Amino acid sequence: MQRTQSFTVTTSKIKSQKYKMDIPTAGQLIDIERQKAVLTNGSYGSIVSNRTVGSEFALDIVDMTAYLAVLCPKLFTDLKVDNLTDLDIFDMKQLKGVWDDQCIPWINDWQAVLREKPEEKKTKKTVKDAATA
């Protein structure tokens, strides 16, 4: 699993610029989740339960914005926006395509590690344990 992901963005404001994100720290994970809550005014969970095309797209934008704000703030500076929701739909479509193709697979890889259960401690059987078994 890669600890860093590079991706290239081209929009009307950025001409083929390369960026990178590192696997987040525990604190950055909290910041990402906090950003999601802020961006949706605390309604992220209810948007998830809507299950409409519009809500799925909105959640993609919220997730992308939260991750990039924490892991790649330089992108916002280069785009000259405070929030990705300030982009027009054409630039957003370009950015979302890059996000889906280059960033989501990487995020899914390290999130799978978070979902793994820790290995149980393997204890050595003693002669006494073997005799009572």
Q: Are 6 and 18 in contact (CB under 8 A)?
A: yes
Domain membership of residue 77 as a residue range: 26-115
Calculate what percentage of the chain has a pLDDT beyond 70: 89
Q: How many domains does the chain have?
A: 1
**Is residue 9, in this structure, part of any structural domain at all?**
no
Residue 126 belongs to a domain:
no
Q: E strand or H helix at 7, and its extent?
A: strand 4-9
pTM of the complete model beyond 0.85: no
Alpha-carbon span 91 to 132, nearest angstrom? 69
Give the whole-angstrom CA distance, residue 44 versus residue 100: 20
* Calpha distance 93→89 (Å, rounded): 6
Report yes or no on 107 lying in a domain: yes
Would residue 121 count as lying in a domain? no
Q: Is 40 among the domain residues?
A: yes
Of the candidates 14, 6, 21, 2, the residue with the CA atom closest to the CA atom of residue 92:
14
Average pLDDT over residues 72-97: 92
Residue 77: inside a domain: yes
In a domain, 42, yes or no: yes
Judged by average pLDDT, the poorest of 94-98, 102-106, 122-126 is 122-126
Q: Flag whether 34 is in a domain.
A: yes
